[in-house]
Amino acid sequence: MSYIFNFGIPGLIQALDQRMRTRLDELGAEKRYRDKEHIQTRGDRTRGFSIIKKGSVCFGKTDTEGRFIVTAQLEAGQCYGEFTLFAGLPRTHDGYAVGDTVISHISKAKFDRLLSQEPQLAAPIISSLTMRLHNLLEWTDDLRRYPLRYRLGKNMLQMLKDGGGDFIEITQSELADLMGVSRVAVAQTLAEYRKLGFVASRYGGIEILNREGFKAWLEEFMQIDPIAPALAMFENGDKDESSPF
């Protein structure tokens, strides 16, 4: 599994200047994980802030039948653990390394001290959390409003946007888990896409053959106008457009 499914949210670290990155590095305790190694457990009450330095982390939940359903996969530069810091919530998802992964873990005590010393760090964190909330609300609305043929295609195009190229390295079972539907439903939808000339099944994944045509076809399903952000992620309208904030 090499696809990235992060709801299109850019990594927080890219919005920080080098001084702030260095401060975070100094406070964090780096830990290395092998591919598929367990990182965190749903219900764990360890509070802290984690930065993915290398590799990626797959987050999901395991049901009573032992089935692990993926919620998101975050890559290097992404952070997690904010809910434990600001809301006192336990870990809500199980997490596993994808490939050789390095994570810098910062304890709540150290993070709280940093935030009191560097209050400007709060702004990009709030922006990131707000964008995640926005995209999750959009996902929820799509789930209630649109058929699978729209939702699956939309998210496949999002994976292309995140990873570049026209090939998504993902299995039908992984797509089914991501969408919360059966493998049969995904197979039927992909067959429809193939018939229309939008995709082709390749060894190890799916190739998008006509990205613009696929996008235009999906837009025919839309019942409400999309809302585009007024500013780029982490951008402050009161500052120069070349500034990362």
The predicted-structure confidence for 195-211, as pLDDT tens digits, reads as follows 999 999 999 899 999 99
- Count the Cβ atoms, other than its own, within 10 Å of residue 95: 25
- Average pLDDT of the chain to the nearest whole number: 87
Chain centroid, CA 204 distance in Å: 21
Question: Which pLDDT band holds residue 233 (cuts at 50, 70, 90)?
Answer: low
pLDDT of 71 above 80: yes
Q: Rg for the chain (alpha carbons), in Å? A: 19
Contacts 24+ apart (CB under 8 A), 183-187: 185/148, 186/148, 186/152
Domain residue extents for the chain = 12-139, 147-219
Q: Does domain 147-219 match CATH 3.30.1310.10?
A: no
Between CA 241 and CA 75 the distance in angstroms is: 26
12-139 in CATH: which number? 2.60.120.10
Task: Answer whether 11's CB lies under 8 Å from 76's CB.
Answer: yes
Between CA 220 and CA 242 the distance in angstroms is: 36
Torsion of CA 106, 94, 165, 55, to 10 degrees: 40
